[in-house]
Chain A
């Protein structure tokens, strides 16, 4: 068991355990904290995959913006009773069985193929610079990049308008 494998197991355990806590916790704030742990685990997996820009962007965007937004929404939509309603145990059991079936389908499809056992090539040393250049290169991805910026701007303006105080 190499060091890389041990680190991979540790970080994927954190990711999946955080995700499980997110979907099981009764208290919504605890669920948001579990989501933050899961997102941090995903950032560590990106770092293991040598995608350093994406690891930093994951921490900054997902944990630093999206998770904070979710926590704000949890605080702003607190029910008056203070208790979170849950579905009955039969619904939970059937849903869990359906999700396990989905997992079985995904895994059997996954194992049909011959995936590479090790990384074949090395990541180029200037991969972040290449990513930046590819996002502004006219023959590469400048159009989706600009469209995504417009989309984000429109979504944020729209959501600020929808959620504004109406008084």
Chain B
């Protein structure tokens, strides 16, 4: 049998990989990919807790479904913003996009 702590360890490792992706990348789309990794790590945690602690209530799965929905909405808006920034500045390097309009 797989202990619950193993799932939590995998989720923690995936979360830290996502944090590294957000902090160490210059391209804005690559930063969004790191954010997706973090959201998936959180979802693994939620579903593992649901399975091991309260499998007859649906709160854990419903919570994870809501995280899916919010992640999809956030990715769509973030990518639209990145495309719009690219149209105006010709770059998505976050080191260069550091000033508002002047």
Contacts and interface: CB of A to CB of B under 8 A. Distances in A.
Q: Is the interface of B mostly helix, strand, loop or mixed?
A: helix
Contact of A158 (B80, B82, B95): B80
Interface in A91-132: 91-92, 95-96, 98-100, 102-103, 106-107, 110-111, 115-124, 127, 130-131
B29 A28 contact: yes
Given A35-B33, A103-B12, A148-B70, A119 B80 contact: no
Interface residues of B, number: 74
A39 B24 CA distance: 21
Q: Is the interface of A mostly helix, strand, loop or mixed?
A: helix
Contacts of B84: 162-163
Nearest to A57: B68
Contacts of B16: 99-100, 102-103, 106
Interface string B51-78: 1110110110110111011111111110
Given A38-B40, A73-B79, A110-B8, 14 more contacts: A5-B1, A23-B17, A23-B20, A28-B27, A49-B50, A57-B65, A73-B83, A87-B24, A115-B3, A115-B5, A115-B52, A120-B52, A121-B55, A163-B79
